[in-house]
Amino acid sequence: MNFKLLIACCGFLCGACVVAPATAQTDSPGKGLKDYYKNYFPIGVAVSPGSLKRPDASALILREFNSITPENAMKMGPIHPKENEYYWKDADSIVAFAQRNGLKVRGHNLCWHEQTPDWLFKNADGKLVDKETLLKRLKDHITTVVNRYKGKIYAWDVVNEAIDDDSTKFLRNSLWYQICGEDFIIKAFEYAHAADPKAVLFYNDYNTERPEKRDRVYRLLKKLNDAGVPVDAVGLQAHWSIYEPTQGELKAAIEKFASLGLKIQVTELDMSVYPWEKNMRTKKPGENDTYTPELQAKQMAQYKMVFDVFRQYKKVITGVTFWNISDRETWLDDYPVPGRKNYPLLFDTNLQRKKAYWEVVRGDF
Ligand code: 9MR
């Protein structure tokens, strides 16, 4: 806290000054998250090509962040719509923006059960392909995409969300798994490593702080590690809420994954103001989706807690990326509950810094 500025502000140590610290708001308006965290890790954000073209959003990105992740543009469906046809325009424009502005790029993702192209799992006769064919397709895809951005993308989410949602099961029963067994995971990392030996290769998943999921992710990573598969790091997606994780759960997960010698990134951070209600298809009767002072206060406390923990673990945490820029537009609007607005990020619907922002940039640095 800059006391000189506080006094210049109102002459007293009033509550308003303490809630909105004068330091960050007045003496360095151009200072962003990336600057506060320069001695810790890069701070990133998921982007679409459209957001980079909007002057207000792109100015915010350049002020606050030093890393970007394409939210959808590099997924297999969008980038490889037909077997012999790639669609590079969107992904290229994101990488070009990063190059022009000196930002890092995380590639997302090379192998996932969602957003896959129609042709991928089927033969010309409409039947499912065999394992050999699917692995060849995976290899061609990974080699082509990773090669195109070699030297421009420093890290790749190679395999995304391969663990089942059912806590009594291990690997997700996706078409990848049904056709290839767990070999698709091993091969994906091997192909990516062969294409760009310098890229940092991630296994990326959600709910990694819930003990039952954490332990299954650990089991997979240990197995890959023991078998010498080139996995460098684990991505904790961090689609969290004001209700979870607890500090204990977060620390336990970081320590458990770090014990394997892996680096850790927080890859898709947002902080929903609702509990996770995956099976709710409508708003509750009478529920309104106002961002109340109570929700704001809970969100401030939760954001403060998680960033305090991230800083404590700076030896193993090599990046923190937010999933979307501001509350103006987030994948959590309408999801999982259609018609419900959410407020999960550090910038409001007018792209202004929220109170939670100041919790993230003050404290022990
Ligand atoms: O934010 C992405 C949204 O625009 C897409 O419609 C959705 C498709 O499933 O994917 C979202 O991003 C996901 C990410 O790629 C992987 N982890 C979960 C993210 C949120 O669903």
Query: What's the CATH code of the domain at 234?
Result: 3.20.20.80
pLDDT at res. 3: 35
How far apart (Å, rounded) are the C-alpha atoms in residues 41 and 313? 10
Instruction: Please report the atom of ligand 1 found closest to the CA of residue 324.
Output: 1
22: in domain = no
In a domain, 16, yes or no: no
**Is position 365 within any domain?**
no
- The verdict on the CB of residue 324 being under 6 Å from ligand 1 is no
The alpha carbon torsion through 94, 96, 102, 104 (nearest 10 deg) reads 40
Q: Is 85 a catalytic residue?
A: no
Asked if residue 25 is part of any domain, the answer here is no
pLDDT by residue for the chain (365 residues), tens digit each? 333 333 333 333 333 333 444 444 444 778 999 999 999 999 999 999 999 999 999 999 999 999 999 999 999 999 999 999 999 999 999 999 999 999 999 999 999 999 999 999 999 999 999 999 999 999 999 999 999 999 999 999 999 999 999 999 999 999 999 999 999 999 999 999 999 999 999 999 999 999 999 999 999 999 999 999 999 999 999 999 999 999 999 999 999 999 999 999 999 999 999 998 776 667 776 678 999 999 999 999 999 999 999 999 999 999 999 999 999 999 999 899 988 999 999 999 999 999 999 999 998 88
Alpha-carbon distance of 230 to 226, in angstroms, equals 10
What DSSP character marks residue 41?
-
Atom of ligand 1 nearest to the CA of 160: 16
Contact 309, 247 (CB under 8 A): yes
For ligand 1, whether the C-beta of 71 sits within 6 Å is yes
- pTM of this prediction? 0.92
> Quick check: is 288 in a domain?
yes
Helix (H) or strand (E) run with residue 320 in it: strand 317-322
Is 264 exposed, middle or buried, given 0-12, 13-18 or 19+ CB atoms closer than 10 A?
A: buried
160 forms bridges with which residues in the sheet?
Answer: 204
Instruction: Indicate whether residue 237 lines ligand 1 (CB < 6 A).
Output: yes
Contact criterion met (CB below 8 Å) for 163 and 172: yes
Q: Ligand 1 pocket, 321 CB below 6 A? A: no
Tell me the C-alpha to C-alpha distance, in Å, between residue 89 and each of 11, 40, 82, 140, 169. 55, 33, 15, 19, 39
Domain that holds residue 95: 32-360
Whether residue 268 has its Cβ less than 6 Å from ligand 1: yes
331 lines ligand 1 (CB under 6 A): yes
Tell me, yes or no, whether 26 lies in a domain: no
3-state helix, strand, coil in the chain (%, to 5): 40, 15, 45
> Cβ atoms within 10 A of the Cβ of 286, count?
5
Residue 88 Cβ contacting ligand 1 at under 6 Å: no
Catalytic residue check, 132 = no
Residue 10 lies in a domain: no
Q: Can you tell me which atom of ligand 1 is nearest the CA of 323?
A: 1
Residue 5 resides in a domain = no
111 Cα: distance to centroid of ligand 1 (angstroms): 13
Query: Angle at CA 301, nearest 5°, toward 58 and 279?
Result: 80
Residue of 69, 112, 114 to mutate, ligand 1, most atoms within 8 A of C-beta:
114
- Token pair recorded at residue 93: 């424009």
How far does the centroid of ligand 1 lie from the alpha carbon of residue 311, in Å?
Answer: 27
Q: Which residue's CA is minimally distant from atom 10 of ligand 1?
A: 72
Tell me the CA end-to-end span of the chain in Å, nearest whole number.
12
Give the pLDDT confidence score for residue 281 in this predicted structure: 66
Which residue has a Cα nearest atom 8 of ligand 1?
115
Residue 247 and residue 273: Cα distance in Å, rounded? 17
* Distance in angstroms (rounded) separating the CA atoms of residues 245 and 358: 21
Alpha-helical regions (H) of the chain: 3-10, 15-19, 22, 33-36, 49-53, 55-64, 76-79, 89-101, 131-148, 175-180, 183-195, 211-226, 247-258, 293-312, 355-361
Choosing from 64, 161, 209, 359, the catalytic residue is: 161
Number of domains in the chain: 1
Catalytic residue among 71, 190, 268, 359, which? 268
Res 15: pLDDT: 37
Contact in structure between 148 and 95 (CB atoms under 8 Å): no
